Structure 1
């Protein structure tokens, strides 16, 4: 609008100057009409220019709005990319777990544990004897069925690390003690010679790495004797720590 006013004032000034400088008292009507038409033309051009300027400003506003929208869309795209990356990582982890389950036959880690005592009724004196294997008849638990109460032998159902503990009790008439055996080889033991206090007790424990099918059981020492009743003085227990 300021530009338009400036142009109109300039044209009016030119007309006034020409009128003042003219030698004739009156301006030629034709020439005046031509100048009026010229001013109308210029005013139309000014109106057109103003409209173009307004359109340009509107276009610039829309362009700025589009730029802002694109910036928001880019930020949203970056966020979605990050979420997609996180989801891909979780998916990969899930696929790895599924593959592990497939390789293990879809089974969870096995559960193996047993706990036994020598006597399931009355009183039992075991030893001295030729068959020195102790058969623990009172079975408190036998998860995984690794322990055989008919033979006294625990058979490992899977490769793994196992924990075993045992206790022995006896009277001073005989040597008291037993040996934990693995596939016929001595591992750890309890041992008490005859003493004057009337009875002896002892306990021990061990962690063993076993392969599927390895056998663990208890044997008496040579010329030894142990005693058991429902009070559970002589015991044998074990469980799987974790498979390997």
Structure 2
């Protein structure tokens, strides 16, 4: 056992501590309590390093949450009113006002549009359903998915053979923060529904932009 850890009182051997700073409280105890300066410095450095590491992990977590938004971005909305929507003299966004999911709050039912909360790759789907009722009535609609006013995808019908029909489109879009995506009905056309919530618009963030 080293002198730094234990020294019998009755040997009269001088205490050799080297780099150790020993403050011996002998009294009736046959021992020496030693605290190393190097060990103190090591403890201080270790504590400082752990504190820096903890702060770094926290900053990284904040960055990741900001980058991904901790953003679970997804929405689904339906047009739930019965009757016909249109025709109009101009193109009009379809009012999907019945919202069943809106994580990230990207969809605005007042505008009928989704605004990207961050850069990234997004997936969008819409279904256009129409039921004109009477057999032989003209089914006449064109529904278009729009990105910042530009047509991305469309479905349409113009016939008298079907009294009701539906079509779905799904696309992937690379969006920048603030880009708007919505679905519109082309002017002069109409969609007719019977309140089954079959006209839908949905989307979600696949992964954030790099």
* TM norm. shorter chain > 0.5: yes
Any stretches of 5+ residues in structure 1 without a counterpart? Answer: 1-93
Provide the aligned C-alpha RMSD in A.
2.5
Aligned residues of 1:181 and 1:218 also touching (Cα < 8 A): yes
Aligned to 1:141: 101
- 1:139-159 Cα distance to aligned partner (Å, 9 max, x none): 111111111111101000010
- TM-score, length-normalised on structure 1? 0.55
- TM-score, length-normalised on structure 2? 0.63
User: For 1:190 and 1:113, how far apart are their aligned partners in 2?
Assistant: 23
Deviation at 1:222, TM superposition (A): 3.2
Q: Which one has more relative contact order, counting CA pairs under 8 Å at least 6 apart?
A: 2
2:210 counterpart of 1:210: no
Cα distance change of structure 1 residues 98 and 127 upon mapping to structure 2, 3 Å threshold? same
Larger radius of gyration: 1
- 1:122-177 Cα distance to aligned partner (Å, 9 max, x none): x1411111352111111111111111111101000010110000111123424123
Aligned residues of 1:134 and 1:218 also touching (Cα < 8 A): yes
Aligned residues of 2:139 and 2:160 also touching (Cα < 8 A): no
**Secondary structure in 2 matching 1:190:** strand
Aligned residues of 2:113 and 2:182 also touching (Cα < 8 A): yes
Aligned to 2:75: 114
Aligned residues of 1:118 and 1:124 also touching (Cα < 8 A): no
Cα distance change of structure 1 residues 109 and 177 upon mapping to structure 2, 3 Å threshold? same
Deviation at 1:97, TM superposition (A): 6.4
Equivalenced residue count is: 150
Aligned to 2:86: 127
Aligned residues of 2:138 and 2:158 also touching (Cα < 8 A): no
Aligned to 2:164: 199
**Secondary structure in 1 matching 2:61:** helix
Aligned residues of 1:166 and 1:204 also touching (Cα < 8 A): yes
Q: Which of the pair is proportionally richer in strand?
A: 2
Q: Which of the pair is proportionally richer in helix?
A: 1
Aligned residues of 1:146 and 1:156 also touching (Cα < 8 A): yes
Within-5 A mapping of 1:1-244: 100-104=60-64, 109-119=70-80, 121=81, 123-129=82-88, 130-170=90-130, 171=132, 172-244=137-209
Structure 1 stretches (4+) deviating beyond 2 angstroms?
Answer: 94-109, 171-174, 227-230
